[in-house]
Structure 1
Amino acid sequence: MRRRFFRDGERPRNDYDEPRSEVLTFLASCRRIFWGLAAFSGLSNLLMLTGSFFMLQVYDRVLPSRSVPTLLALVVLAIVLYLFQGGLDLVRNRIGVRIGRYFDERIGGRVFDALVRLPLKTRGDGDGLQPLRDLDQVRSFLSGGGPTALLDLPWMPIYLGVCFLFHFWIGVTALVGGIVLIALTILTELKTQGPAKAFSRLGVVRNALAAEGRRNAEVLQAMGMRGQAARRWQDANSKYLEAHERASDIAQGLGGVSRVFRSILQSAVLAVGAILVINQESTAGIIIAGSILTARALAPVDIAIANWKGFVSARQAGRRLDHLLKLLPVEEAPLALPAPTKSVVVENLHVAAPGSERQILGDVSFELHGGQAVGVIGPSGSGKSTLARALVGVWPRLRGRIKLDNAALEQWSAEALGKHIGYLPQDVELFDGSIAKNISRFDPQARAGDVLKAAEAAGVHDLVLSLPDGYGTEIGEGGVSLSVGQRQRIGLARALYGEPFLVVLDEPSSNLDADGELALNTAIASVRARGGVVVVIAHRPRALESVDRVMVVAEGRLQAFGPKQEILNKVLRTPVPLNVVAANSGDGRWTAR
């Protein structure tokens, strides 16, 4: 039974608990910081009264008394308070920037991990980098003036209260203005929700089309499809720009209305103050101070309206991040298991593609022991690559189990399991970096001897040495500086790095020449010799030279499994129902006979 230890303040959760929002959990963990930020905002807002009271004292005390010393004392006091306010604002802004960075440091790793795992959980449609953009959006809002504007809003009633202390009608005028501006804020929220969502959704479509075009640049160029691709992107971009215009027009239009109304309101306060002075119900100082204070009282609402677009975008980004992180929660590290050395057992395996319930491969059961290698043959679309992906744990199982030494794959963490598995997919993807780093799987503790051993096992050592910088050769994004065959052979060395127990090779000879095929069979034989298990998805007969078992897969089912010669002889005698058959040495393909 697996035990889990909890940190202070963390409660145990049962399987029926709703997954917690990691974004909200982060914000809750920062509550002391936010309280501190609120305290700084409170002091700063109190000090913003300096201008109003300075004007009040100048008009009501200094000018009637003509006292220069009083004026100098007020000026010095005001300067000190302004400097103190400036220091508070500087600290407040720096706190905001650090909250944004802290958010990125706490959530960024989880977002990247979920981003990498997402294609293994869903179909992977849309813009794959949207979670990183959402992370940037939330961090930018936390680092900018958004939280400050929200923390300033509670001070609006206090400013209005001071306006009422100046005079009842000045307070009423400011209150009416505040109600109108709050109504504009609510209207901004309601009006921008739809366009903001459409803007975000169309941005995903637009970026996905751009990434698709970049990924298929050779096809677009070779077959004259660039114009069609450009038109598709322009159509999506036009809809994106229209949504952006609608969202911006609403936010900026209401923001403009807010600014105009503030100007009118400030003049209205002066007019009300003038009437009060004429009726000898107030002083000239209160007119000026009330005007300044009214503007200050309504400034948070105006700033909130100006930042509302960013607030809505950050809120939507946070919700998308929450959805992503709930879909792909933190993987608990199970108890470390000993390295597998004995067997690979598949029991009643049924497999579907990520994000789909439609079965692609079903009812597969077999067992392989250390030192054995199986070649998997069958027609295209029969489920061979699906089997390979299931064996290495990257495609979901609907039912059944895959076990290494009687331990099911789910009993291993992905990092621990990866050390015991070597995988060469059909489409080999290398990473930007040196050949040595790619072979070593970017292991920071990689030893040169292990890299050389993997390269020699894959028969790629001499090929690497022939390159300009040998193992230090930088291959660029996706291994662009290498040929397809070279990438496949480097990928094979990566699969063999660390001498994994289970090695799964999906059409490993598809881009290899005769020397490459010889090196492949030597590598398979070396894995068998050290007691490992090899699974080879084969479309070419030479890939089966070093295997001792053959598996026939057709129509998503395991049709035959056993010793190589026995299965091949059986397949040769089987009429077309299996729809597969033995190798035709003339064209190197598996053809029906």
Structure 2
Amino acid sequence: MDVQAATDSPNPYASAQLRRSLRSVRAAVVALTFMCGLAYIALAIGAMLMLDIALPGRNGETVAGLLAMAIGTLALLIGGLTLRQRLLRQAGRILSFSISPVIAAHRYGTGESGTSLASDTRDIDHVRRVLTGGGIAALADLAIVPLYLIVLLMLGWPMALTLLIGGTVGAALLRVWSTTLAGSVDAADRAHAERDELLQTHAASRSFIRQLGILRPMQAREEAAERAALAPADALDASLGRNRLIVAALAAVVIIAVGTLTVWRATNDRAGIGTIAAALLLTGFALWPFREIAARQAELLRGRAAWARLRTALDTPVLQDDVLPLPTPRETLAAEAIAIAAAGERRVVLQGVSFTMTAGDITLIVGPSNSGKSMLLKALAGLAPNAIGNVRLDGATLGQYGETGRSRHIGYLSQSCVLLPGTISQNIAGFSDAVEPDAVVSAAQTTGAHDMIVRLPQGYDTLVGGPDCSLPQSARQRINITTAFYGDPFLLLLDTPDSFQDRNGQAALGAALQAARARGAIVLLTGESRAIIDAANLVLVLRKGGVADFGPKEAVRGRMVAREQIKSQPKPDAAISAALAE
């Protein structure tokens, strides 16, 4: 299958290189976390030595040495935490830069699965927020809690056992909450997404809403959507707040219990004041990650779900535009057994469509409604994700030209009369980084749109697109036609270019088609205007998803007339037919 994609293969940078980079960051984060854990332990031991040795001995040199050690340890700790945070921010940037092109490819349907696996950029934001917002750091700190347990065990097994029990209970609670909160987080996010989609739709249609005089009903819908979004959000916030209080209370109970046990041991001369301080510090350091995770649980759940979707996108083939550039096609177009199945249905839209055209041919595609005319044009442009078969330009398949080559050699006009936010020149040039003014003006002159554009106050720099675009539909269509003609593509695929056009617009369209023929382009189009019919020299008839006829216009017209005459002949009476049969 080569109708749709150029080179469908997993992005080597976005998958392998990204994973290698993240593994390197993970190893560095683990090492830094372990170092910071040792620094915390050193601070606790330093406090114990200060209280149990330096204070009773009244030795200034010992105090100065322990103080210097504490300052150095603290500096090392701050440096390690800073470097770890910087590494996590770097991981967020690596993720964003590496995976954004893959997400864009899926969003615009150049991936194998089209938009079905297209993760929103919010997924990247969720993962980056987990990396940089403290969520991953808290999980890393939680992994070194056994280190604190070992040191605490050396100070006394009752304190270690108390911390072990408290930590086990805290870990179990976080585990249970991660399961129960997942549905609440998903419900809240879904409600907010539905509200935002409604608000965006209303914002894009606000002029139309005012014209219809339905402002109040629309405001009522927005208020209802806001209430619907607030309900699950409030429930989620209540659950998160309750969980944070429970973890805080658990931490307080464990710290009090450890302190009480240490004091009890001190009263029995089995521990000193320094041991009490060290035990409390170690317990506080060990319980800190539990509180951080409880505070960021919704963030972590969103990040986990987002990363699962991003990993799916990473492993999904996407179009790679690294093919060898081919010469500009100049001679033929060949469609070979193109077939398309309706998405999600057991119905064939097109099947076995094959034909050949040469430079200068203009083919008018005709057929009843839902016969597959628009879908055929999409398949020829490489934009039908479910298409099979081959489209060849000068013998080479579309995939061999790559995405850049296809956009340069194929000009496509869809039925949607839509302009993107930007200037007219940007829309005509396809928002290319290097807009060629001469090519923009040349395309507009070819389609007859130049005079219309220069009469606008800002001419080609007029801002269009979006809900506030004031251009009439006819002008928008003329600009869209000009976009298809930009760069003099070899293959022009125009879906009802005569829509929204008056007599002058149709005359300009006819002249543009003749100019395309004169320079050796191949044109396939749909429409019913006289300008299109007169310009076409070939006709392709589609019926029930297949090619019913194809050939020179007059020959096809003659065959159609002959078939209609045969259908209109009176059928013999049934009795006569029976008699003839005998």
TM-score (norm 1): 0.85
| Superposition deviation, residue 331 in structure 1 | 3.0
The 3 A distance-change label for structure 1 pair 120 and 75 is closer
The 3 A distance-change label for structure 1 pair 410 and 119 is closer
| Superposition deviation, residue 102 in structure 1 | 1.4
| Superposition deviation, residue 497 in structure 1 | 1.4
Q: Does 1:168 align with 2:151?
A: no
Show the counterpart of 1:49: 41
Relative to structure 2, which stretch is displaced further, 465-474 or 559-568? 559-568
1:319-468 aligned at under 5 Å gives the runs: 319-331=308-320, 333-354=322-343, 356-396=345-385, 398-468=387-457
Structure 1 residues without counterparts, runs of 5 or longer: 1-13, 580-593
Match for 2:297 among 297, 308, 324? 308
Show the counterpart of 2:73: 81
Cα shift readout 1:48-75 (whole Å, capped 9, x = no counterpart): 2354234323332343234455444433
Residues of 2 paired with 1:240 and 1:325: CA distance? 31
The 3 A distance-change label for structure 1 pair 129 and 341 is closer
Cα shift readout 1:75-134 (whole Å, capped 9, x = no counterpart): 344234323322322222122112111110111121112211179945x68xx9852111
Residues of 1 paired with 2:162 and 2:13: CA distance? 43
The 3 A distance-change label for structure 1 pair 292 and 396 is closer
1:87-236 aligned at under 5 Å gives the runs: 87-117=79-109, 121=113, 131-217=120-206, 220-223=209-212
Any conservation in 2 of the 1:349–1:400 contact (CA below 8 Å)?
A: yes
| Superposition deviation, residue 574 in structure 1 | 5.2
Any conservation in 2 of the 1:509–1:517 contact (CA below 8 Å)?
A: yes
Show the counterpart of 1:588: none
Residues of 2 paired with 1:87 and 1:578: CA distance? 89
Show the counterpart of 2:5: none
Q: Does 1:564 align with 2:553?
A: yes
Residue identity opposite 2:85 in structure 1: N
Residues of 1 paired with 2:341 and 2:418: CA distance? 23
Residues of 1 paired with 2:38 and 2:118: CA distance? 43
| Superposition deviation, residue 41 in structure 1 | 2.0
Match for 2:527 among 516, 538, 543? 538
Relative to structure 2, which stretch is displaced further, 385-394 or 236-245? 236-245
Q: Does 1:470 align with 2:462?
A: no
The 3 A distance-change label for structure 1 pair 95 and 390 is same
Residue identity opposite 1:178 in structure 2: G
Does the residue aligned with 2:328 lie in a helix, a strand or coil?
coil
Residues of 2 paired with 1:370 and 1:249: CA distance? 69
The 3 A distance-change label for structure 1 pair 341 and 330 is closer
| Superposition deviation, residue 153 in structure 1 | 2.1
Greater relative CO (CA pairs within 8 A, separation 6+): 2
The 3 A distance-change label for structure 1 pair 529 and 479 is farther
| Superposition deviation, residue 551 in structure 1 | 2.7
Relative to structure 2, which stretch is displaced further, 273-282 or 428-437? 428-437
| Superposition deviation, residue 371 in structure 1 | 0.7
Any conservation in 2 of the 1:21–1:322 contact (CA below 8 Å)?
A: no
Match for 2:50 among 53, 58, 63? 58
Any conservation in 2 of the 1:375–1:550 contact (CA below 8 Å)?
A: yes
Residue identity opposite 1:493 in structure 2: T
Relative to structure 2, which stretch is displaced further, 454-463 or 545-554? 545-554
Relative to structure 2, which stretch is displaced further, 485-494 or 537-546? 537-546
Identity over the aligned pairs, expressed in percent?
28
The 3 A distance-change label for structure 1 pair 42 and 139 is same
Residue identity opposite 2:71 in structure 1: I
Cα shift readout 1:350-374 (whole Å, capped 9, x = no counterpart): 2234555521233433222111111
Any conservation in 2 of the 1:191–1:250 contact (CA below 8 Å)?
A: no
Residues of 1 paired with 2:179 and 2:483: CA distance? 54
| Superposition deviation, residue 47 in structure 1 | 1.9
**Residue correspondences, number:** 561
Any conservation in 1 of the 2:119–2:309 contact (CA below 8 Å)?
A: no
| Superposition deviation, residue 381 in structure 1 | 2.8
Match for 1:292 among 281, 288, 293? 281
The 3 A distance-change label for structure 1 pair 62 and 399 is closer
| Superposition deviation, residue 496 in structure 1 | 1.0
Show the counterpart of 1:482: 471
Structure 2 residues without counterparts, runs of 5 or longer: 1-7, 569-582
